[in-house]
Amino acid sequence: MFELYFEDFHPGWTFEQGARTLSAADIKAFAREWDPQRYHTDEEQARASPYGGLIASGWQTACVGMRLMCDGYLNRSACVGSPGIEEIRFLAPVRPGDTLRFRSTATEVRPSKTKPHRGTVTFTWEVLNQAGEVVLSMVGTQLFLRRPAAADRGA
């Protein structure tokens, strides 16, 4: 049914997906709805800010990363959710015209002690710009179903 199950992940497993280019209009539209700070919504005020110009909300950058993750592997996997993100860092500004890509690296893989049909994978997720700079990093976990045994599939 799924392409990726818990057993497919191991420490060091890496996946990359991209790209998504953000325009000034994309940045301002997201910010008007979700993070209406002046350096996200107003180019003139953004020039007078410490950033020297319009920048994307870190939350928009995280959303782009999530979309690239879903398009890349998550929607093909037996993921059943996430208990959360341990760390999120906005490392560099994302500017209009930046093209973002996503990288996921598994750092820890643990079978569940109480739910034998699933396991937990800890990841470092990164969003990188066109220059290869990491602009956002997150550490979080996802829960995955284990691959059904042949008997469970009716084989």
What's the pLDDT tens digit per position in 106-144? 999 999 999 999 999 999 999 999 999 999 999 999 999
In a domain, 1, yes or no: no
What is the DSSP secondary structure assignment for residue 148, as one 8-state letter?
A: P
Q: How confident is the model at residue 41 (pLDDT cuts 50, 70, 90)?
A: very high
Instruction: Provide mean pLDDT across the span 48-68.
Output: 98
- Boundaries of domain holding 51: 6-153
Return d(Cα 54, Cα 28) in angstroms, integer. Answer: 9
How far apart, in Å, are the Cα atoms of 120 and each of 20, 138, 152?
A: 28, 16, 21
In a domain, 114, yes or no: yes
What is the DSSP secondary structure assignment for residue 45, as one 8-state letter?
A: H
Average pLDDT over the chain, rounded to an integer? 95
pTM of the model: 0.92
In a domain, 17, yes or no: yes
In a domain, 142, yes or no: yes
> What's the total number of domains in the chain?
1
Return d(Cα 64, Cα 94) in angstroms, integer. Answer: 11
**Which of 40-44, 48-52, 147-151 is least confident?**
147-151
Instruction: Provide mean pLDDT across the span 27-54.
Output: 98
In a domain, 64, yes or no: yes
Q: Which residue has the tokens 């979700």?
A: 34
In a domain, 96, yes or no: yes
Q: How confident is the model at residue 151 (pLDDT cuts 50, 70, 90)?
A: very low
Instruction: Provide mean pLDDT across the span 32-46.
Output: 98
Q: How confident is the model at residue 18 (pLDDT cuts 50, 70, 90)?
A: confident
In a domain, 83, yes or no: yes
CATH of the domain at 58: 3.10.129.10
Q: How confident is the model at residue 153 (pLDDT cuts 50, 70, 90)?
A: very low
